[in-house]
């Protein structure tokens, strides 16, 4: 029997179990992650945010995460199925909120380490949290077979892989009940699939099927991917992106993308793993 402290938080209803583990002592197995994220037998969440000091990871940091070495705190993110993910935009905002809530950082500007490197955090006057997501990499086009249709879109990396597909008609009409079938050559590790539509000038509506989690209420990196796909190449833009769980804003310019939106901590407690 293992007792484990936890917190629960969400960003536009993309929810996470937060595990404080400053010295990297927790053996976070795939089975443990799946149990904690189970909405009936566990706490419930779209993923796990392990709060660990970067120095505790040492050689476990992948080369892509080396710029995270300058940060004190590292977001060790896991999908609900136990798989490791490179990046999570809503997760970084919730992680940053937890660091502030727990008194682990101070001020309104700091950095968080991720497997996609260090991410700058800004706490806005209205309480929203803005993350510097870095450059978005456009990688061509591809397609996915959904339950009832084939969609085509932009293959995009936001630190993790995406296929962002503009659709005709309301995104609510798209069937995301089954895992999309992707081109395995284009996406050997799988990908998040977004369907989006422009509903007003500067406003997108989006839904997402997340790799390792299924359809979620929101996906921060997916929001950035959809905004990037909707922006003409070489241009900057500001998009409000509406998802099932709320709304975020994406700012795109020559320096990359910034993602801004709410992040809240809703509970803290102790769980027992048998």
Q: Give the residue numbers marked as catalytic.
A: 88, 219
What does the angle CA 90 – CA 26 – CA 54 come to, to the nearest 5 degrees? 60
125's CB contacts (< 8 A; 6+ apart) are none
Rounded CA-CA distance 24/26 in Å is 6
Residues ≥6 apart with Cβ < 8 Å to 242: 199, 203, 204, 205, 206
Q: Would you state the torsion angle of the CA atoms of residues 113, 80, 271, 262, taken in this order, to the nearest 10 degrees?
A: 60
């Amino acid at each position: 029997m293992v007792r484990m402290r936890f917190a629960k938080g969400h960003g536009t209803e993309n929810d996470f179990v937060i595990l404080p583990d400053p010295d990297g002592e927790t053996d976070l197995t795939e089975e443990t992650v799946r149990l904690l994220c189970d909405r009936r037998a566990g706490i419930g969440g779209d993923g796990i945010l392990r709060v660990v000091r970067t120095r505790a990871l040492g050689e476990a940091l992948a080369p892509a995460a080396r710029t995270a070495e300058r940060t004190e705190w590292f977001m060790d993110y896991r999908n609900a199925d136990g798989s490791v993910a490179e990046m999570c935009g809503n997760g970084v905002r919730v992680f940053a909120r937890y660091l502030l809530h727990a008194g682990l950082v101070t001020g309104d500007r700091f950095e968080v380490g991720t497997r996609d490197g260090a991410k700058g955090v800004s706490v806005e006057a209205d309480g929203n949290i803005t993350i510097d997501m870095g450059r978005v990499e456009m990688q061509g086009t591809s397609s996915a077979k959904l339950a009832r249709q084939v969609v085509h879109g932009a293959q995009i990396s936001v630190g993790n892989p995406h296929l962002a597909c503009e659709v005709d008609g309301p995104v609510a009409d798209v069937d995301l009940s089954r895992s999309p079938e992707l081109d395995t050559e284009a996406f050997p590790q799988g990908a998040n699939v977004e369907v989006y539509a422009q509903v007003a000038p500067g406003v997108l509506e989006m839904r997402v099927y997340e790799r390792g989690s299924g359809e979620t209420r929101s996906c921060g990196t997916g929001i950035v991917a959809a905004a990037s796909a909707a922006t003409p190449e070489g241009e900057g833009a500001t998009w409000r992106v509406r998802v099932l769980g709320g709304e975020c804003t994406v700012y795109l310019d020559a320096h990359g993308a910034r993602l801004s939106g709410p992040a809240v901590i809703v509970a803290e407690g102790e769980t027992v793993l048998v």
